[in-house]
Structure 1
Amino acid sequence: MDATLFYVLVGAVVVAAIARWRGWPAPLLVTVVALAASFLPFIPELEIDGHVLLNVVLPPLLYSAALDVSFVGFKRSLPQIRRLGIWLVLLTAVVVGLVAWLILPALTLPGALLLGAIVAPPDAVSAAAIGRKLGLPRRIMTVLSGESLINDATSLTLYRVFAAIIAGAALNVWDGIWQFALAVVIGVVVGLVFGIVLHQLRMRVADPVVIGTFGLLVPFGAYAIAEHLGGSGVLAVVAMGLYVGFNAPRTDYTTRQQEAPLWLSADLLLESFVFAYIGLMFRRVLSDLGSESVEHILLLSGAVLLTVLLVRPLYIYPAHAFARWQQRVRLRRWERASTAGRFEQKQRTRPGRQPTTAEQMKKRLTEPELSWKDNAIISWAGMRGVVTLATALAAADLAALDDKSSHAVVVVAFIVTVATLMLQGLTLPFLIKKLGIASDVDQAEDARATAAVRKRSREAGMAFLEEKRDEWTAKYGPSEMKTFDVFTKRMSRVETETEQIQVVEENVVRPSYDDLTALMKGWLHVRREVLLAERDADNLDEEVMRELMAAIDAEELALDTRGATRPQSRA
């Protein structure tokens, strides 16, 4: 088993590497190659318990995805994300369950609803991996990524409820709602506690290797403890990832530079394994197809697949229209309150708090604009993945399900997963091109925001240097102002050649290399603070801020590297 797992990992990474080299979607190529490989007689069957798969693969993938999600964008798109990640999952589970029960009554209604919960959530790995490769605009990727982060929690909670009913527990609708609410609260609280502890550790420990190692371990702990307490492990990991990712710019730059390639490598390894495992499941699915039930199971699989594909757009467009109507109602109410002076009066009754401007209030009351074309992409980006397969395998081990029902659950889950990956994944590029969806608008807006924030950052940096001028004069005297002026000029050009700006004069107190390094580090710190302030004020997209922050980190790395390799002066 150990050697087989190693060979699968190596083969999957090799195929993914080829896909990345050729510019192809790696998840799709890995799945296709694994499907073909499953027919080879010398390829052993890879059997992994569904619970192990969820506990080992899901936490790091969710945490990595949450680190990359813009918290500001997530918060602004939360109404859209909530509609897809909670209500669409519930609707899909119920509709699929009813369809499955009508076609195969032997499943029983709880068993059919269990199947609905299993196939309901689109996969976080699929959405992120394929969406990034296709270059989807940020407004769409934020919704898809946010949905895939929370819909697993909804589906896994539904799975637990229906599994308990199948096992004989007497639960009603209110019990299910209570379990879901409890799972959300416990999951979020556990995640925030872990996130706060990890962030404080990142702020106080200067060893990036140690911090990176803790970062790899903590998602498993948050997931396991939340599940043990009856909460959602998925939400715990997501809450922790969002908190740590939002506060990551406040930590030492070496921590960010250490963890970025670490998580990229972990993502490549785990994503490659997940999609390879999906393809290699084909042999087991064939063995689960008994000759006497193959027609019924294939009919059920086709009906569930069709239901999954249709429910999503049939929900998204009416829900979007209803949300837009609600938004107009909210805006009209606020405008009436503002005209009557009630809004300003309420602002005055909140002493000590920053007053909310009209522009900020409008942002709070409105959702990011999505066109019908954007919703078409979102409707078609419903690929299923590892959570669907893992929960199906876990359901197959339920003692209350007979062999026929458990086989049907596994087969249907596999067919829906592979069919959505192949059908939707392969046709998404064509749909995007046909609808003219591109990230050109994002690039233009990012360019304008980058130019503006760079100007503000440069101004803040120069203001910092001017504040240091008097201190420099008092410490080194007027004779060393030439050194300071040369340094200031070079900083205005964003250069870091600190070794070339020392002015050599005899019998005077000259600034040391460490003095110049401290001055530049302060200048870099001021620029970072400008980026954070612009991000927090929602004037700069978080992804753009991270790119600019990475450039500043590179400057500081170059400065520290130059200092470490600089020959020490001799006495």
Structure 2
Amino acid sequence: MALFELLIALLLGGAVLTALAHRIGAPYPVLLALAGTALAISPVNVPGIRLDPDLALTLFVAPVILDAAFDTSPRDLRENWVPVTGLVLIAVALTIAAVSVVARALVPEMPWSVAVALGAVVSPPDPVSATAILGRLSPPRRLVVILEGEGLLNDVSALLIYRLAVAAAVGTALTAGHAVPLFLLNSLGSVALGWALARLYLLLAGRITDLAISVVTQFVATFAVWIIAEKLQVSTVLTIVVYALVLARRITSLQKAEVRRGSLAVWEVAVYVLNALAFILVGLQLQDIGDAIPGGVTRYIGFGLAVLATVIAVRLAWTFTYNAIARMVERFALPPERRTPTARSYKSALVVGWCGMRGLLTLATALALPFDGAFANAEHRDLVIVAAFSVVLGTLVIQGLTLGPLLARLGLGDDGRGTLERDVARQETTRAAIASLDGVDEPEAAMLRKEYSVVLQDEALRHLRPKVFGRLRMAAIAAERDTLMRLRRERAIGEDAYRDVEEELDWAEGNARRRGRALRLPDGDDGGRR
């Protein structure tokens, strides 16, 4: 019962802190992690919650990665495969090498296998952190694609090296010569498994028409995919990513609209709850770390800060180096009309370099270290854990809190590509609807033509004075709501009619708000009703 009460309190605290973060313009994972840390070091007696590493990765990371991958555009990933690959492979390798050297310099008696394992633990930016923080900001679309692609794929290289280093540390006969074939087998096996499991799920999805059963099946299938990949010792994250990408392209035609809408709503809430709990629990792990280390964490702070500085510096060095090389290649290998100076600007390099937040993935892999072999030395294992926590908290606080102001200072905002593509999609689909009525003479067809023509006219008017249009639309919806509630109060309509029309107004308001956000309208510009 105490654990249940603590979880309820954590969820309530997470909701309050998220609301506060939205009000002050800070990423909510930062406040949640700081709150967990404050609870861990406070004199208040907080029941210990120990994260089982395997359970943490499965419960918290699997559904969040699937949710992020489901919304990922394969087209955008293909367009930006070079920078994404550079971050996934080269930046990770450079970070592992640099952290290993620094760790050995500070602790000469630390075996190389432990130092490399530390580097692999702290090298990959966490996809959960990146998704949660970037969701509150509006950077250029290309930067979002690069960072989300990196977050989804970087475990392939980092966790492979982690496995090799841990195997070497415990004395398993596994050498670096196995790395290349193991990497290829791991990657290809993950892709094949993700594709096969997605196709298997698609055979089932079309037969499920009940919303509740569909949502339960989706979550069960997500965890099952992760567990199967783990049992087969392939990349769990890459398997989930491929699984989600295949589903996203094909499942729409198999699901009913009501099931799809309900599923999206449930997933949005579930992913938020998992994020909130995960980041608070990351902070609470400091309690376990402090208890495990003789004399407390204080004497390990210097080591943790050195690793944190190394992680940040190496990433920045790589992004600026890549940027300089890309600009040089464009200058000498591409005609002027194909060059992209804005995309290759040093401002973009700085933002990508600064988006290196670590999170649950780093802490879970550190806590998953074995207790035998080179890790039988408690000091070495504890140093890795403290360094991992320092990098997680340091990057979340330092980079997470300053990322928004940095984007504003550099003048890097949404480039409008997404808005433009949405407008094109709306206009073309509406024209297709009108064309489908050609040759139909029924009165109903004439009414539908008029309705769709009004939609096209709305799209044109919305771009003339978008703020005025948005305000008037929200005010009109508010008037509809007032009338609907008056009719219910006067008992002119019953609850069934009220709920049906209310749902229609909810969809209309949600659509208006989404368009308003795409046009960057202020939240208060909504006709006085939220």
- Normalising by structure 1, what TM-score? 0.73
User: 1:166 Cα deviation (Å)?
Assistant: 0.8
- CA 1:253 to 1:16, structure 2 compared with 1: closer, same or farther past 3 Å? farther
- CA 1:466 to 1:318, structure 2 compared with 1: closer, same or farther past 3 Å? same
Contact 2:323–2:346 (CA<8 Å) still a contact in 1?
Answer: no
Secondary structure class of the residue paired with 1:63: helix
- CA 1:312 to 1:21, structure 2 compared with 1: closer, same or farther past 3 Å? closer
User: Which residue is equivalent to 1:376?
Assistant: 350
1:387 aligns with 2:391: no
Compare CA radii of gyration and give the structure with the larger one. Answer: 1
Q: Distance in 1 between matches of 2:271 and 2:297?
A: 39
Q: Distance in 2 between matches of 1:291 and 1:125?
A: 32
Q: Distance in 1 between matches of 2:424 and 2:310?
A: 48
Q: Distance in 1 between matches of 2:342 and 2:209?
A: 39
1:254 aligns with 2:247: no
Q: Distance in 1 between matches of 2:8 and 2:132?
A: 23
User: Which residue is equivalent to 1:283?
Assistant: 287
- CA 1:217 to 1:298, structure 2 compared with 1: closer, same or farther past 3 Å? same
User: Which residue is equivalent to 1:557?
Assistant: none
- CA 1:224 to 1:8, structure 2 compared with 1: closer, same or farther past 3 Å? farther
User: 1:183 Cα deviation (Å)?
Assistant: 1.2
User: 1:193 Cα deviation (Å)?
Assistant: 1.2
- CA 1:249 to 1:327, structure 2 compared with 1: closer, same or farther past 3 Å? farther
User: Which residue is equivalent to 2:445?
Assistant: 484
User: 1:239 Cα deviation (Å)?
Assistant: 0.9
1:429 aligns with 2:404: yes
User: 1:400 Cα deviation (Å)?
Assistant: 3.9
Alignment of 1:53-202 (within 5 A): 53-202=56-205
- CA 1:157 to 1:4, structure 2 compared with 1: closer, same or farther past 3 Å? farther
Q: Distance in 2 between matches of 1:47 and 1:156?
A: 22
Q: Distance in 1 between matches of 2:113 and 2:107?
A: 12
1:215 aligns with 2:187: no
Contact 1:12–1:273 (CA<8 Å) still a contact in 2?
Answer: no
- Normalising by structure 2, what TM-score? 0.79
Stretch deviating more after TM superposition (428-437 or 268-277): 428-437
1:13 aligns with 2:17: no
Deviations 1:242-288 (A, max 9, x none): 22223344343223202211111111111111110111122223234
- CA 1:488 to 1:436, structure 2 compared with 1: closer, same or farther past 3 Å? closer
Q: Distance in 2 between matches of 1:238 and 1:154?
A: 15
> Given residue 446 of structure 2, which amino acid in structure 1 is its aligned partner?
D
Q: Distance in 2 between matches of 1:242 and 1:18?
A: 32
- CA 1:222 to 1:329, structure 2 compared with 1: closer, same or farther past 3 Å? farther
User: Which residue is equivalent to 1:411?
Assistant: 386
- CA 1:197 to 1:324, structure 2 compared with 1: closer, same or farther past 3 Å? farther
Secondary structure class of the residue paired with 2:368: helix
> Given residue 26 of structure 1, which amino acid in structure 2 is its aligned partner?
Y
Alignment of 1:252-401 (within 5 A): 252-291=256-295, 295=299, 297-326=300-329, 331=334, 369-395=343-369, 397-398=371-372, 400-401=374-375
Q: Distance in 2 between matches of 1:181 and 1:368?
A: 35
User: 1:126 Cα deviation (Å)?
Assistant: 1.1
Secondary structure class of the residue paired with 1:465: coil
Q: Distance in 2 between matches of 1:101 and 1:309?
A: 18
Structure 2 gap segments, 5+ residues each: 457-510, 516-530
User: 1:416 Cα deviation (Å)?
Assistant: 1.2
Q: Distance in 2 between matches of 1:101 and 1:315?
A: 22
Find the partner of 1:29 among 31, 35, 47.
Answer: 31
Contact 1:128–1:145 (CA<8 Å) still a contact in 2?
Answer: yes
Contact 1:19–1:25 (CA<8 Å) still a contact in 2?
Answer: no
User: 1:372 Cα deviation (Å)?
Assistant: 1.4
Contact 1:285–1:410 (CA<8 Å) still a contact in 2?
Answer: yes
> Given residue 71 of structure 1, which amino acid in structure 2 is its aligned partner?
P
- CA 1:466 to 1:280, structure 2 compared with 1: closer, same or farther past 3 Å? same
Stretch deviating more after TM superposition (166-175 or 316-325): 316-325
Secondary structure class of the residue paired with 1:224: helix
- CA 1:69 to 1:40, structure 2 compared with 1: closer, same or farther past 3 Å? farther
1:461 aligns with 2:430: no
Contact 1:139–1:368 (CA<8 Å) still a contact in 2?
Answer: no
User: Which residue is equivalent to 1:420?
Assistant: 395
Q: Distance in 2 between matches of 1:61 and 1:257?
A: 18
Contact 2:155–2:235 (CA<8 Å) still a contact in 1?
Answer: no
User: 1:486 Cα deviation (Å)?
Assistant: 3.2
Structure 1 gap segments, 5+ residues each: 336-358, 474-480, 496-543, 549-571
Q: Distance in 1 between matches of 2:369 and 2:11?
A: 29
User: 1:373 Cα deviation (Å)?
Assistant: 0.8
Q: Distance in 2 between matches of 1:315 and 1:279?
A: 29
> Given residue 454 of structure 1, which amino acid in structure 2 is its aligned partner?
R
Contact 2:11–2:276 (CA<8 Å) still a contact in 1?
Answer: no
Contact 2:226–2:240 (CA<8 Å) still a contact in 1?
Answer: yes
> Given residue 257 of structure 1, which amino acid in structure 2 is its aligned partner?
R
Q: Distance in 2 between matches of 1:484 and 1:150?
A: 49
User: 1:69 Cα deviation (Å)?
Assistant: 1.8
- CA 1:367 to 1:48, structure 2 compared with 1: closer, same or farther past 3 Å? farther
Secondary structure class of the residue paired with 1:281: helix
User: 1:415 Cα deviation (Å)?
Assistant: 1.0
Secondary structure class of the residue paired with 1:313: helix
Contact 1:201–1:211 (CA<8 Å) still a contact in 2?
Answer: no
- CA 1:192 to 1:5, structure 2 compared with 1: closer, same or farther past 3 Å? farther
Contact 1:16–1:272 (CA<8 Å) still a contact in 2?
Answer: no
User: 1:72 Cα deviation (Å)?
Assistant: 1.7
Contact 2:141–2:418 (CA<8 Å) still a contact in 1?
Answer: no
User: 1:235 Cα deviation (Å)?
Assistant: 0.5
Q: Distance in 1 between matches of 2:133 and 2:167?
A: 35
RMSD (Å) for aligned C-alpha atoms: 2.8
- CA 1:8 to 1:64, structure 2 compared with 1: closer, same or farther past 3 Å? farther
Contact 2:147–2:352 (CA<8 Å) still a contact in 1?
Answer: yes
User: 1:329 Cα deviation (Å)?
Assistant: 6.8
> Given residue 461 of structure 1, which amino acid in structure 2 is its aligned partner?
A
- CA 1:397 to 1:257, structure 2 compared with 1: closer, same or farther past 3 Å? farther
User: 1:12 Cα deviation (Å)?
Assistant: 4.6
Q: Distance in 2 between matches of 1:484 and 1:287?
A: 73
- CA 1:446 to 1:115, structure 2 compared with 1: closer, same or farther past 3 Å? closer
User: 1:28 Cα deviation (Å)?
Assistant: 1.2
Percentage of identical aligned residues = 29
- CA 1:203 to 1:404, structure 2 compared with 1: closer, same or farther past 3 Å? same
Alignment of 1:524-539 (within 5 A): none
Contact 1:16–1:27 (CA<8 Å) still a contact in 2?
Answer: no
